Amino acid sequence: MKTRLLAATALAAFALAGCSTMTTDRVASTDARPAAAAAPAIPQATGYFAQDSSLPFHAPDFTKVSEADYVPAFEQGMAIQRAEVAAITANPEAPTFENTIVALENSGKLLGRVGRVFYALTGANTTDALDKIDEEMSPRLAAHSDAINLDPALFARVKAVYDNRAAMSMSPEDARLLERTYEEMVHAGAMLTPEQRERVKAINTELSTLATQFGQKVREATVAGAVFVTDKAQLKGMSDADIAAAAKLAAEKGKPGQWAIALQNTTQQPALPSLENRALRERLFMASLHRADGKANPAHDTRVLLAKIAALRAEKAGLFGNPDWATYAMWDRMAKNPKTALDFMNQMVPALAATQRSDAAALNAQIKKEGGNFTVKPWDWYRYANKVKAERYQLDEDKMMEYFQLDKVLEDGVFYMANQLYGLNFTRRNDLPVYHPDVWTYTVFDRDGSELGLFYFDPFQRPSKRGGAWMSNFVEQSHLTGNKPVIYNVLNIPKAAEGSPQLVSFDNVNTMFHEFGHALHGFFADQKYESLSGTATARDFVEYPSQVHEMWATDPKVLANYAKHYKTGETIPAAMIDKIEAAGRFNQGYDFGETVEAALLDMKWHALSAEQAAAIDTPAEVDAFEAKALGETGLEVGLIPPRYRSTYFNHIFSDPEGYSSGYYSYLWTQMLDHDSRQWFRDNGGLTRKNGDHYRATVLSRGGTMDYFEMYRNFAGREPTIQPLLEARGLTGGTPTNASTSDDGAGAAKISAKKQ
């Protein structure tokens, strides 16, 4: 599994009323509606973001935006939305769905335009100036969001419409927007006491600042953590292209004649398997593991920041009467509550731990076989795992890459899959401004030949880009606005040396199919309201449509179209694909284990009460808590560290909410993914009939309905965990979920009850 961050999560810092991500249980109530005040005049917008772009699909014109434009645009956007909300609350007419809920949905257009462009750049091509703007604006945007979400006069109108909903005639999507708007405002604190609301505002502002600082420190630590080598002989095992890239990076960092190995965002590093020099492997691994814990550079230490974030979250949850942040944060998830998520993960731990131990024994045997006098350590793991895999499956990773050329993987693989399943077609274009020369653009055509939207593809790693891979929108689909989606995928593929073919690993092939699965979820959006459109779904559902599209990377028909040797044009041999699929079940002790460990670590941080979290306020206490939390997982964390340590766990700490209490989503959605793969296989695989059915029941539904209902509409039944366990080689026991039912055939079905 390739983890990713949605770039859209950055926008949560100023999530607007009606589409906020902040909500919780009712702890107070009021029926009084404050008297409406006279509405101020709505300011006139100026500057580039004052109106939709004139480019096709309202795509952003990067040639017309400078760094100096962002702060004024943000300030205008906030002022205009404040006036728009004031106009709603000052309306002398009785509250209605149109004059309150739809009016709120229509507010903040300028703010949305500037935010989508700004946060795309701070994620994919940032500068020092943009980082400073981000740090300045994050608390101001958080305060702006709170001023709307916690406006008593606005909430009184929303509540009046909500309380009258039974007497109203609405479409299902209208009803969902009303319900969502009300629930989010309640969860943001609309029904708290005035004193509690003020404290929530202060916490949100501080969390926004801390999260921004955390993300920036992690990026700085990752860039600064590059490992320098002065003796080329130490790089033995690396490809000529990788060595050339390391020399180029060192020169760019002011050390010509040396070599620099850049860090990637995860704990494990791509260069480790190929490096023969064990001391260098250890140095590279330790640079990754300790990048942001103060050992390499105290200026990059994130421990106090993350402790403050955890404490503030726990305090905020307590204001809503919740025992911990996890309970507060999971209010709208498919799993509903922490117990369901934890039971789901814990049922896999015994078999997973046994697999980790047996895998370690196999690697130690390989080390001994080669004459080594040491036992496997984390920095050795993938090198010897690859050796065992190569011997067991006769799979040569370097030779396999020769069949995966970047442009062909995208155009003849990913796009071909989209054509076969959904009837889409793509045309490359060079007339649109981009934010970096490496970005490719395409017009996407629907099955009837009409224009569906625009796609931007940004594949290469660079220092100005955060780690990982993600999808987001420059323009959101909405029938209300008439907008079609403008979507981008961002990856971190090492760029080949000039003149060399751009080959990619099979892991990056999977990532390309995965991220385009997110893009399809956005392109097939068919909603009236932007707040419910496309990928605007629960955190533990949004990864599911992307993951299921990874299955087509090894579909024989798709492979035959794109997996061709870059020199000879020969199609990848079927035997090699068989080996890829067989080898895919190998090393699950590490591959699956590091993700489970990270998910459990996330839940441990966010299961703390306010008192417990407040007691962790020094770097040493952060280290002690992390060690204890990981030790309690029952997994072999000494050999297999989590995919992210707390100190560089951007998913859960670099956003006011992000994936906090939600990293389990990657596992939960794998369950939905593998169960769906079984459905596709049972129903004929890669066919337009299957694609159209999946589009109609899942990809086009956005956030408009219950997720279990959506899944039943697709598969005709509840999801089951068995296909996931089989795919991961974890079938040594009967699954025991907190909420399971039996279909009579022994397969555990997953359901969740709100507690």
Per-residue burial over 17-26, b if 16 or more Cβ lie within 10 Å, else e, is bbbbbbbbee
The 3-state DSSP class for residue 706 equals: coil
Q: Quote the pLDDT of residue 708.
A: 93
Q: How far, in Å, CA of 523 to CA of 472, rounded?
A: 11
Whose CA is closest to 11, among 439, 536, 466?
A: 536
Q: 706 and 527 in contact (C-beta within 8 Å)?
A: no
pLDDT averaged over the chain? 90
Residue 682 pLDDT more than 50? yes
Whose CA is closest to 16, among 160, 163, 154?
A: 154
Helix H or strand E segment including 82: helix 70-90
User: What's the whole-number mean pLDDT along residues 90-115?
Assistant: 97
Q: Is 569 exposed, middle or buried (0-12, 13-18, 19+ CB in 10 A)?
A: exposed
Q: What pTM value is reported for the model?
A: 0.84
Measured CA distances, 121 to 6, 28, 128, 421 (Å): 13, 41, 12, 32
User: What's the whole-number mean pLDDT along residues 573-581?
Assistant: 85
Catalytic residue check, 515: yes
Residue 207 pLDDT more than 70? yes
Q: Where are the alpha helices (DSSP H) in 606-719?
A: 610-614, 619-631, 650-653, 665-682, 688-694, 707-715
Q: How far, in Å, CA of 414 to CA of 569, rounded?
A: 18
Q: How far, in Å, CA of 488 to CA of 522, rounded?
A: 10
Q: Quote the pLDDT of residue 22.
A: 27
Q: Is 611 exposed, middle or buried (0-12, 13-18, 19+ CB in 10 A)?
A: exposed
Neighbours of 94 (CB within 10 A): 11
Q: Quote the pLDDT of residue 39.
A: 67
Q: Both tokens of residue 708?
A: 């279990």
How sure is the predictor about 25, in pLDDT bands with cuts at 50, 70 and 90?
very low
Neighbours of 709 (CB within 10 A): 11
Marked catalytic residue, from 173, 315, 515, 657: 515
For 260-302, how does the pLDDT look when each residue is reduced to its tens digit (9 = 90+)? Answer: 999 999 999 999 999 999 999 999 999 999 999 999 999 999 9
Q: How many Cα atoms are found within 13 Å in the side-chain-facing hemisphere of 427?
A: 12
For 374-433, how does the pLDDT look when each residue is reduced to its tens digit (9 = 90+)? Answer: 999 999 999 999 899 888 888 777 888 999 999 999 999 999 999 999 999 999 999 999
- Which residues, at least 6 apart from 128, have a Cβ–Cβ distance to it below 8 Å? none
Residues in the chain: 755
For 684-705, how does the pLDDT look when each residue is reduced to its tens digit (9 = 90+)? Answer: 999 999 999 999 999 999 999 9
User: What's the whole-number mean pLDDT along residues 472-476?
Assistant: 97
Q: How far, in Å, CA of 281 to CA of 283, rounded?
A: 5
C-alpha dihedral sign at 711, 714, 719, 724: negative
Q: Quote the pLDDT of residue 474.
A: 98
Q: What angle do CA 76, 79, 82 make, to 5 degrees?
A: 145
Strands 451-460 and 486-493: parallel
- The percentage of residues in the chain with a pLDDT greater than 90, rounded to a whole number, is 83
Q: 1 and 465 in contact (C-beta within 8 Å)?
A: no
The 3-state DSSP class for residue 454 equals: strand
229 DSSP β-pair partners: 259
Helix H or strand E segment including 443: strand 440-445
Q: 348 and 596 in contact (C-beta within 8 Å)?
A: yes
Q: Both tokens of residue 419?
A: 């054509």
Q: 723 and 677 in contact (C-beta within 8 Å)?
A: yes
Q: Which residue has the tokens 């320098």?
A: 228
Q: Both tokens of residue 368?
A: 């001994």
Q: Both tokens of residue 736?
A: 């025991």
1 DSSP 8-state letter = -
Amino acid of residue 690: N
Q: Both tokens of residue 727?
A: 């795919």
Residue 744 pLDDT more than 60? no
Q: How far, in Å, CA of 85 to CA of 18, rounded?
A: 11
CA-CA-CA-CA dihedral for 416, 720, 352, 345, to nearest 10: 110
Q: Quote the pLDDT of residue 163.
A: 97
Q: Quote the pLDDT of residue 736.
A: 36
Residue 8 pLDDT more than 80? no
Secondary structure (DSSP) of 464-513: TS-SS-EEEEEE--BTTTTBPPEEEEEEEEPPPPTTS--B--HHHHHHHH
Please provide residue 354's backbone torsions phi and psi, each rounded to the nearest 5 degrees.
-65, -40
Q: How far, in Å, CA of 72 to CA of 94, rounded?
A: 35
User: What's the whole-number mean pLDDT along residues 490-519?
Assistant: 94
